[in-house]
Amino acid sequence: MMKVLDGVVMELQDLALPLLGDVIPTADPAVAFKDVAAAFLVGAMPRKEGMERKDLLAANVEIFKVQGEALDKYARKDVKVLVVGNPANTNALICSHYAPSIPRENFTAMTRLDQNRAQAALAARLNVKVDKVKNVIIWGNHSSTQYPDAAHATVALPSGVKPVLAAVNDEKWLNTSFVETIQKRGAAVIAARKMSSAMSAAKAAGDHMRDWWMGTNSGEWVSMGVLSDGSYGIPKDIVFSFPVVVQNKQYKIVQGLPINDFARSKLTATANELEEERTEANNVLHKK
């Protein structure tokens, strides 16, 4: 793949980005991870037709073992790690296992693409620009069990800022079509273009790391897959998407949001899936 990578380097040079200082194309983890402050782990084994989830996890353990060990050995100890390659949540957990000298909370999974999709869908429904919609939440796994939650979101309308629930005024749509569309959006993109999301995923990865680095705006939160501390009754030690605020490069899970029965059922379902993935991943790890 080095020849392909050389083509990517050419494109990066040709973009003439004023902030881009240097590019080092390499297939050597020792070179790739040396002194890195931010790591975007994009590569993973994609799920193929007929592949069981345990087989997918087994293949990804091999990938994230190499990357975790390299991070542990060569990266800065305060490195911020964003796992993009799916299954991202459990891959982040696996990677942290192989990098014991780096704080586990420094390993995150990307659910920002799902948040951006949800924000865009609500903006389209309300006929406003996407930046007028704030505080949509993605709970759980970056999979079809995720729960896109508009219950705490707001929208800036010409008449003032309103809760999205009141502005949409269609709870059935929010609990069915909206949720299902966001849950299945990745599959819809693949069906349409025969490849996974590319530009939208890259934008979301940039959004995630920028907010982790620069902080969130006052009164706003973003969704990140982070190590659960038991908040909202979610089992500890799974990487679960929560709403977070960021200050001084440290994220904190937003606390105290009311969770209704419908939302609770969705959180439970996605947490159960992540616990199953963790069990399967641990089974693979213990065979090593």
pLDDT(27) > 70:
yes
Q: Which CATH number belongs to the domain containing residue 265 in this structure?
A: 3.90.110.10
Residue 18 has a pLDDT of 98
Q: How confident is the model over 156-198, as pLDDT tens digits? A: 999 999 999 999 999 999 999 999 999 999 989 988 998 889 9
Angle at which helices 112-126 and 185-193 cross, to 10°: 90
pLDDT(49) > 70:
no
The reply to whether 193 sits in an annotated binding site is no
Which structural domain range is residue 34 located in?
Answer: 1-109
From 163, 243, 257, 167, select the one nearest 211 (Cα to Cα): 243
In the chain, the percentage of residues whose pLDDT exceeds 70 is 97
Residue 231 has a pLDDT of 98
Here the tokens at position 248 are 């001084």
* Whole-Å CA distances, 2 to 26, 27, 29, 64, 73: 7, 7, 14, 20, 23
The answer on 229 and 188 residing in a single domain is: yes
The reply to whether 283 sits in an annotated binding site is no
pLDDT(103) > 90:
yes
The reply to whether 117 sits in an annotated binding site is yes
The answer on 139 and 71 residing in a single domain is: no
Q: Please report whether residue 130 resides in a domain.
A: yes
Q: Among residues 45, 77, 109, which one ends one of the domains?
A: 109
The answer on 26 and 92 residing in a single domain is: yes
Q: Please report whether residue 288 resides in a domain.
A: no
The answer on 79 and 122 residing in a single domain is: no
Q: What is the mean pLDDT of residues 223-229?
A: 98
* Whole-Å CA distances, 274 to 100, 112, 141, 241: 21, 18, 7, 11
The reply to whether 141 sits in an annotated binding site is no
In the chain, the percentage of residues whose pLDDT exceeds 90 is 86
- Region of 127 (left: φ > 0; alpha: ψ -120 to 50; beta: rest) is left
The reply to whether 179 sits in an annotated binding site is no
Q: Among residues 48, 81, 109, which one ends one of the domains?
A: 109
Separation CA 82–CA 37 (nearest Å): 11
Q: Please report whether residue 287 resides in a domain.
A: no
Q: Please report whether residue 250 resides in a domain.
A: yes
Q: Which CATH number belongs to the domain containing residue 95 in this structure?
A: 3.40.50.720
pLDDT(269) > 90:
yes
Residue 20 has a pLDDT of 96
The answer on 153 and 66 residing in a single domain is: no
Q: Please report whether residue 285 resides in a domain.
A: no
Q: Please report whether residue 121 resides in a domain.
A: yes
Quote the distance between the C-alpha of residue 203 and its chain's center: 12
The reply to whether 21 sits in an annotated binding site is no
pLDDT(288) > 70:
no
Residue 135 has a pLDDT of 98
- Residue 57 pLDDT level (bands cut at 50, 70, 90): confident
User: How many domains, in total, are found in the chain?
Assistant: 2
Active-site residue (options: 97, 142, 152, 208): 142
Alpha helices in 111-260 (DSSP H): 112-126, 164-168, 171-175, 177-183, 185-193, 199-214
Separation CA 47–CA 19 (nearest Å): 35
The answer on 142 and 267 residing in a single domain is: yes
Q: Please report whether residue 286 resides in a domain.
A: no
The reply to whether 85 sits in an annotated binding site is yes
Q: What is the mean pLDDT of residues 48-73?
A: 84
The answer on 37 and 102 residing in a single domain is: yes
pLDDT(54) > 80:
no
Give the global pTM: 0.94
The answer on 234 and 153 residing in a single domain is: yes
Cβ-count burial 155-185 (b if 16+ within 10 Å, e if not): bbeeeeeeebbebbeeeeebeeebbeebbeb
Q: Please report whether residue 102 resides in a domain.
A: yes
The answer on 264 and 190 residing in a single domain is: yes
Q: What is the mean pLDDT of residues 78-92?
A: 95
The answer on 121 and 92 residing in a single domain is: no
Neighbours of 21 (CB within 10 A): 6
Q: Among residues 60, 89, 109, which one ends one of the domains?
A: 109
The answer on 257 and 207 residing in a single domain is: yes
Average pLDDT along the chain: 94
152 is catalytic: no
The answer on 262 and 182 residing in a single domain is: yes
